[in-house]
Amino acid sequence: MSQKNYGLLAGKRGIVFGPLDDKSIGWHIALAAYREGARLAISNIKVAFRLGAVEELAKLCGDAPLIACDASSSEELETAFAELKEKLGPVDFIVHSIGMSPNIRKKRPYEDLNYEWYHKTLDVSAMSLHRIIAQALKAEAINDGGSIVALTYIGAQRTFSSYSDMGDAKALLESITRSFGSRLGKRGIRVNTVSQSPTKTTAGTGIEGFDALYDFAEKVSPLGNATAEDCANYVVTLLSDLTRKVTMQNLFHDGGFSSTGISDSLLEMLYGKKEQP
């Protein structure tokens, strides 16, 4: 079903960090932002341009400028924001859709993390948000009244054994969101995280036991798991002027998972069909 365009982002400009391919949450956010009238730039690490389908996305988003940048490098971000200003001007929104854990990729158990990789997880998945916002401010590349959104997971609040050091990274990411949100309020800039359901993307499916995590969440969530497209539609509301007073929040976009203890469908799965009264 094609999605209606509400013109929520007409006249706005922004940058989306992290689309890789058509499964990526960032991919769908870029498409939804474009559909809602925004002009945007797309960023990822150089290797992702080769491995992913980012050029195709740029075409689908009105020949959006592509900006290669490792978001864990302040130097590369400095260059990236200079390029962004040159190609698009200062922006009204920034989306951080970046995550990676070498420990998860290489199946190191949480009790025996490789600390260099742990550092990398925190740097790429969380500190990168700090670096992005700090460099955007230094470059005067974000407008007053703007909106910054980063993607997170409920593994920041509750332990999901296979989520390993990403849970720690997401807790840091959410804290950085609050710390910057309080500082940028005077400029009307909002900073929020969206805590998304398990989603079948490259980063998601790299987590051991992802299918079980996905199926469990599907059974527990009254509305079922939210897809990447659903997430994109929610995120554009946060980038729009309709949510000007929402900041420093971790907003669950998970079909109700975060508020559910146990569900009938999970009970049925564990104990068999429910007896009819």
Ligand X SMILES: NC(=O)c1ccc[n+]([C@@H]2O[C@H](COP(=O)([O-])OP(=O)(O)OC[C@H]3O[C@@H](n4cnc5c(N)ncnc54)[C@H](O)[C@@H]3O)[C@@H](O)[C@H]2O)c1
Place of tokens 């398990």: 198
**Is residue 225 within 8 Å of residue 214, measured between CB atoms?**
yes
- 6, 34, 118, 163: which is the annotated catalytic residue? 163
Interaction mask 8-27, ligand X, x per CB under 6 A: ----------x-x---xxx-
What does each C-alpha distance from 182 to 21, 149, 187, 248, 277 come to in angstroms?
34, 14, 10, 7, 52
# of chain residues touching ligand X (CB under 6 A): 26
Count of residues in the chain: 277
The token duo for 42 is 């797309």
Cα–Cα distance measured from residue 224 to residue 255, given in angstroms and rounded to the nearest whole number: 5
User: Among 203, 220, 226, 239, which residue sits at the site for ligand X (rule: CB under 6 A)?
Assistant: 203
Centroid of chain to Cα 75: 22
Choice between 6 and 82, CB closer to ligand X? 82
The backbone region for 150, taken as left when phi is positive above 0, alpha when psi lies in -120 to 50, beta otherwise, is beta
Contacts of residue 39, Cβ cutoff 8 Å, sequence gap at least 6: 12, 13, 14, 62, 64, 88
Q: Does 227 bind ligand X (CB under 6 A)?
A: no
User: Among 32, 124, 149, 184, which residue sits at the site for ligand X (rule: CB under 6 A)?
Assistant: 124
Taking the complex as a whole, the smallest distance from the CB of residue 72 to ligand X amounts, in Å, to: 5
- 153, 214, 234, 271: which is the annotated catalytic residue? 153
Taking the complex as a whole, the smallest distance from the CB of residue 203 to ligand X amounts, in Å, to: 3
Binding part of the chain for ligand X, among 34-42, 136-144, 196-204, 239-247 by CB under 6 A, reads: 196-204
Q: Is 153 a catalytic residue?
A: yes
Choice between 146 and 204, CB closer to ligand X? 204
Q: Which of residues 47-106 bind ligand X (CB under 6 A)?
A: 48, 70-72, 97-100
User: Among 16, 38, 127, 151, which residue sits at the site for ligand X (rule: CB under 6 A)?
Assistant: 151
Q: Does 44 bind ligand X (CB under 6 A)?
A: yes
Choice between 145 and 206, CB closer to ligand X? 206
The backbone region for 16, taken as left when phi is positive above 0, alpha when psi lies in -120 to 50, beta otherwise, is beta
Per DSSP, the three-state class of 64 is: coil
Catalytic center residues: 153, 163
List interacting residues with ligand X (CB under 6 A): 18, 20, 24-26, 44-45, 48, 70-72, 97-100, 124, 151-153, 196, 198-199, 201-204
